[in-house]
Amino acid sequence: MSVLVGKKLKEKLKAPPDQRLYVTPILEDDQIKQSGIDLRLGNQFIVFRNAVLEALNPAMESRDVLLQVLRYQERVVIPFLKGSRFVLHPGQLVIGSTFEYVALPQNLEARIDSRSSFARLGLTVAGAISIAPGFKGVITLELTNHGSTPIVLYPGWPIAQLVVSETIGKAPYQSRKYLYPVGPQFSRLYEDESLRMWARPASQDIALNVKGMTCEHCVNTVKKAVSDLKGVKNVKVDLESGTVSCRLTGECATRDDVARAIAAAGYDVVHG
């Protein structure tokens, strides 16, 4: 593959529709550099609400991973008004996107390069390692402040550069996760089939038969032993039937963990 530069890059911006590189809007002629095209920062951001989850666990049922993501992240829109800004704090990661909409023909691929001037302030701008031929949409950007001082970002600022290369042959766009984005998109890791082998239900109600419980003291002992396990809720101990029931949230404890906790408390779990 060869990087498009100078005259060749400008020719691709004016090529016939099926071969054209679309980058729109280009607000100033000097956005087109010798070896790339300057891209501006959009006005939508996905921020992380760190306080709402103890941990984000991708190895869960797809629906429950989606619910975690929606609790963990939220979209923020900064208006395109003079003085409107977004403050990126030290150590903070946000998901943004380009202001420009980009469409690649099937014989071009691209990458995003961070601006050196921002990198020297501690700001890292990362995008997809490779933007595949046939892609259409705004480009998602991961913005991280690695410095020790908050950095103010303004929508519309030149934030990165699009570097375009010509491929050998043509390839249709294959992604099914992120089609035609018009802003930053929430993670769709829950659609990844390769994670299914690690997934387990996010919540599961279980019941175990237990021998040796004879009084309320036994009930309280067993209940405390099970309740102390991480990821266990709604513990109920029925002395008359000799059963212990609870809900496993899927975050940590398993059925075997519950059985071991009961055994460690001095009571026998009846298997079978």
Fold match, 2-196 / 204-270:
no
In sequence order, what are the residues at sequence separation of 6 or more whose Cβ sits closer than 8 angstroms to the Cβ of residue 212? 218, 266, 267, 268
Structure tokens belonging to residue 8:
């060749």
Distance of alpha carbon 149 from alpha carbon 229, whole angstroms: 41
* Residues facing residue 153 across a β-bridge: 86
- Residue 201's pLDDT is 58
Please give the helix or strand (H or E) that residue 208 lies within, else none.
Answer: strand 204-211
Q: For the domain covering 204-270, report its CATH number.
A: 3.30.70.100
Based on DSSP, count helices (H) and strands (E) in the chain, helices before strands. 5, 16
- Residue 85's pLDDT is 94
Q: What is the DSSP code (8-state) at residue 30?
A: G
Distance of alpha carbon 257 from alpha carbon 248, whole angstroms: 10
| Chain centre distance of CA 59 | 14
- Residue 59's pLDDT is 66
* Residues facing residue 66 across a β-bridge: none
Q: What is the pairing mode between strands 37-40 and 93-103?
A: unpaired
Please give the helix or strand (H or E) that residue 64 lies within, else none.
Answer: helix 62-72
Q: Which fold has domain 2-196?
A: Deoxyuridine 5'-Triphosphate Nucleotidohydrolase; Chain A (2.70.40)
Please give the helix or strand (H or E) that residue 12 lies within, else none.
Answer: helix 6-12
Give the global pTM. 0.69
Q: What are the angstrom distances between the C-alpha of 233 and each of 60, 95, 98, 226, 267?
A: 18, 34, 44, 9, 20
- Residue 122's pLDDT is 94
Distance of alpha carbon 19 from alpha carbon 22, whole angstroms: 10
142 annotated active-site? yes
C-beta of residue 98 within 8 angstroms of C-beta of residue 75:
no
- Residue 170's pLDDT is 79
**What amino acid occupies position 120?**
R
- Residue 197's pLDDT is 63
pLDDT averaged per 10 residues in sequence order, the chain, 272 residues = 86 92 93 92 92 69 72 90 93 95 94 90 86 92 95 94 90 75 85 66 84 94 94 93 90 85 93 70
Structure tokens belonging to residue 196:
């299914």
First to last CA, the chain: 62
The domain segmentation of the chain, as residue ranges, is: 2-196, 204-270
Distance of alpha carbon 105 from alpha carbon 228, whole angstroms: 58
3 state SS of 198: helix
The single residue of 54, 100, 142, 251 carrying the catalytic annotation is 142
- Residue 147's pLDDT is 93
